[in-house]
Homo-oligomer: A and B are copies of this chain.
Amino acid sequence: MRNVRIVVTNCNTTREMTEEIVRGARAAAGPGTTVTGLTPAWGPESAEGWLDSFLSAAAVMDALRTYDGAPYDAVVMAGFGEHGREGVRELVDVPVVDITEAAAHLACLLGRRYGVVTTLERSCGQIEDSLELAGVGRNCAAVVGTGLGVLDLGDRDRTGAAFVAAAERARAAGAEVLVLGCAGMTGLERVVGDKLGLPVVDGVGAAVKLAEGLVALGLTTSRAGSFARPVPKRRAWGAE
């Protein structure tokens, strides 16, 4: 088995969050896998809502477009519910796994219905749309907000309590498995899983395992149809 080199893109410009995500990714990665974090040079400091999400999508694509580090075998996009995965699939020649869809794919294997617990209520719709388009919306019982902003997640006690409260609502709606609805929640799965008695899936870990799997199987994005390479043309990435 050859080694697998994964680039994990943060959806925002906060380097501490990139580091935290990389830690989570490495904890999930197999022994032969190396993980490199990529922080966009521009974009929002955290992504909450559609404006941030579209800005983030462009910034992440730009970061990958201008990346000149070591070669890599797969991209993991660590912005839960954020846009951009289809654009990155056009851009790079390696498999691309978004943590939103990744968590849902694994969650579907663990129970008949899953639920997502995320940060602000305003993000719920965006996540629902992302799951629907990824083709895994059917078995999602609920997407529930905790009322916490992305940058509030540092307080782990408060976050854990808010998560458990929101998770109970997802459970009442039929969820048998939970998904951590923000890359910044990585690590919380063990704490809340025990309290809830439910499996809890972290998207970063899920995406790393899916990326490793695709690379091992020699699979990459189809170029037939939707995700053909971008047509060559003039493009300006930000004001000059």
Residues of A within 8 A of B (CB): 1, 13, 28, 30-31, 41-46, 48-55, 57-59, 61-62, 83-84, 86-91, 95-97, 101, 105-106, 108-113, 121-122, 125-126, 129, 132-139, 149, 171, 174, 176-177, 197-199, 201-202, 205-206, 209-210, 212-214, 216-217, 219-228, 230-231, 233-240
Contact = CB atoms under 8 A, between A and B. Distances in A.
B230 A52 contact: yes
A219 to B, nearest CB: 5
Report the copy number of this chain in the oligomer. Answer: 6
B129 A225 contact: no
Given A54-B61, A136-B108, A209-B216, A225 B121 contact: yes
4 tightest A-B CB contacts, nearest first = A238-B238, A209-B213, A135-B139, A58-B58
Contacts of A212: 209, 213
A198 B213 contact: no
Nearest to A128: B112
A13 B239 contact: no
Given A44-B235, A217-B209, A233-B45, A226 B61 contact: no
Given A111-B227, A209-B216, 12 more contacts: A42-B239, A50-B227, A105-B109, A112-B225, A113-B226, A122-B226, A125-B226, A135-B139, A197-B223, A199-B220, A199-B222, A237-B238
Contact of A42 (B97, B137, B238): B238
A51 B90 contact: yes
Given A50-B86, A50-B87, A90-B51, A224 B108 contact: no
Contacts of A53: 87
